[in-house]
Structure 1
Amino acid sequence: MPLHHRLASAATYVLLVAGSLVMLGPLLWMLAASFKSIPEILAFPPTLLPKSFDPRNYRQVFEQADFLRYFLNSTVIAAITVVSVLVTSSLAGYAFAKFTFPGRNVLFVLVLATLMIPFQVRVIPLYVLAGDLHLLNTYAGMVLPSLVDAFGIFLMRQFLTAVPSELIEVARVDGAGELRIFFRIVLPLAKPALSALAIFTLVSSWESFLWPLLVASSPDMYTLPLGLAQFAGRYLSRTDLQMAASTLTVIPLLVAFLIMQRRFIEGLATTGFK
């Protein structure tokens, strides 16, 4: 390899490493600070690693707030949302990609148009609807706005358009029904896109703050973002406890991404986001 090519590759790697450190810096500091005491956090010059990895901050967080309940609420809401979005998006995306019916393109454009409407504009009618259906302060009310996702429909439609129609036609000739084709042929081929959509939906649901804040009227229904905001308000001067609580909120997302990262990257590459 010529010298200038090696220099260019080395410079690229240096930039990537520097960018990674910039992106991971706040996360690493949060994790390290969650094991430090207040004097150690405020020490100058600052230190990256704590003197001792003492989990006392985490013990105090669980003693001062019901984070297990918040975690349960977030997990239930995220699970319902992810499953619903995967089902509705895959079905609608398959219909838009492989079926021809009157008004298909117009309907798809209308679905995409909803992406341009900010959620804040829809909050009031959604809240009134949830109140009329007696869904306030319930799991059903929490997941109401996110059961169907226009971006998920778009993502699945883009992926399934690339699936060869001949596979579906052969299955129909062999006598397979539409549901069997969908579950036995289409879904196995769509695993990368489904994984990418699952990550997007999980992050969006896990970090949701405005809608749970409006719907949840009792602490028993608080999600992790709401519990973290309340906890931070009570302990403004306890940076150590705030960092421990923030770490508890972030860890599930990191674990989910590490488990699904390969499929996630494949999904992005095969749906036009490469």
Structure 2
Amino acid sequence: MPDPMLTRRRSRWSRPSMPLTVVTVLVSAIFVIPVLWLLAGSLRPGHEIFESLSPLSWDILIPSEVTLENYQAMLFGPFGRALVNSLIVCVISVAVGTVMCALAAYAVAVLKFPGRGIIFTVIVVGFMIPFEAVAIPLSQQFSSWGLANTITGLVLPGIGNGLAIFNLRQHFLSVPASYREAAKIDGASEPRIFTAIYWRLGGGALVNSALLIFLGQWGAFLWPLLVVSERDLQVAPVALAQTFGEHSSSFGQHFAGAVILSIIPALLMFILQKSFGGLSIASGEK
């Protein structure tokens, strides 16, 4: 028979604390309200965005007139072309970068060779250094190689993601060494072992690394600004910044561009969220 005192104590701890709930709601509102204001502003005429702030009321979140003109102006203008450029750069970077990072992670996690620890240390230190610290000399080097104003110049710095290599290395270390030993006994080569075992067991680690590469390229601003001067090759974050005029700006269009830049990675995260629950290598179970 359960102890009544223990039952009351458990029920007391299971009840949510009212002050904590209130604090949670307030903190959530602090983060949610600006997002709702951004979304509402993108659906209303530009001149109404700041007019709705005085007097302060719920009108800032409820457009008096819903219009898609801001989105049409952005998507069918220079920003739309830049958005396509960003998608091309991200797709190429993810496709090439995921394979390159997986190969590098396989080398430093599985293969035995002199200096492996030093190479891994350089990789870890490399992704801890801010890219802004090396962006200017790197852009000068790319210009001397003739890679300025090219898709290749935009893609190359993003395919070697140190954090993605670190993430995949940690995952590959969890793969039992007996899998590789059994494959070698059967006569499998190293490329065969990599593709048939480690790549197939990559699961959520590969998806996570691909997202790291995608997000790094999607939000890149300084590097495209340095390496690309032609308007036709500009990417979306830079194109959005260039829509701000010196004397006049359409804040409705700016808000629409910001929503578009934010919604694409959010949708990608929502679609791929089920892939984050990786396979337990040791047990072979979810």
Return the TM-score normalized by structure 2: 0.84
Are 1:123 and 2:130 an aligned pair?
Answer: no
Are 1:26 and 2:34 an aligned pair?
Answer: yes
8 Å contact from structure 1 (residues 33, 41) kept in 2: no
Aligned to 2:144: 132
Cα shift at 1:263: 2.0
Distance 1:262 1:18, change over 3 A: farther
Using the alignment, how far apart are the partners of 1:35 and 1:223 within structure 2?
A: 24
Deviations 1:99-130 (A, max 9, x none): 21111112211221212332222123312221
Return the TM-score normalized by structure 1: 0.87
8 Å contact from structure 2 (residues 39, 259) kept in 1: yes
Asked which structure has the greater CA Rg, the reply is: 2
Deviations 1:62-94 (A, max 9, x none): 45x322210111011111222222111111111
Cα shift at 1:14: 6.3
Using the alignment, how far apart are the partners of 1:226 and 1:235 within structure 2?
A: 19
Are 1:42 and 2:51 an aligned pair?
Answer: yes
More helix by share: 1
Aligned to 1:223: 235
Gap runs ≥5 in structure 2:
1-6, 282-286
- Alignment coverage as a number of residue pairs: 267
Gap runs ≥5 in structure 1:
none
Using the alignment, how far apart are the partners of 1:9 and 1:158 within structure 2?
A: 39
Using the alignment, how far apart are the partners of 1:257 and 1:108 within structure 2?
A: 29
Identical positions, percent: 33
Mapping 1:92-131, distance limit 5 Å:
92-131=104-143
Distance 1:162 1:19, change over 3 A: farther
Using the alignment, how far apart are the partners of 1:101 and 1:122 within structure 2?
A: 29
Aligned to 1:56: 69
Aligned to 2:201: 189
Stretch deviating more after TM superposition (43-52 or 249-258): 43-52
Are 1:260 and 2:272 an aligned pair?
Answer: yes
Distance 1:56 1:124, change over 3 A: closer
Aligned to 1:7: 15
Aligned to 1:207: 219
Deviations 1:172-212 (A, max 9, x none): 22222222221122112112011111122211111100010
Cα shift at 1:13: 6.7
Deviations 1:192-234 (A, max 9, x none): 0111111222111111000100111111011000110011336
Q: For the aligned residues, what is the CA RMSD?
A: 2.5
8 Å contact from structure 2 (residues 42, 255) kept in 1: yes
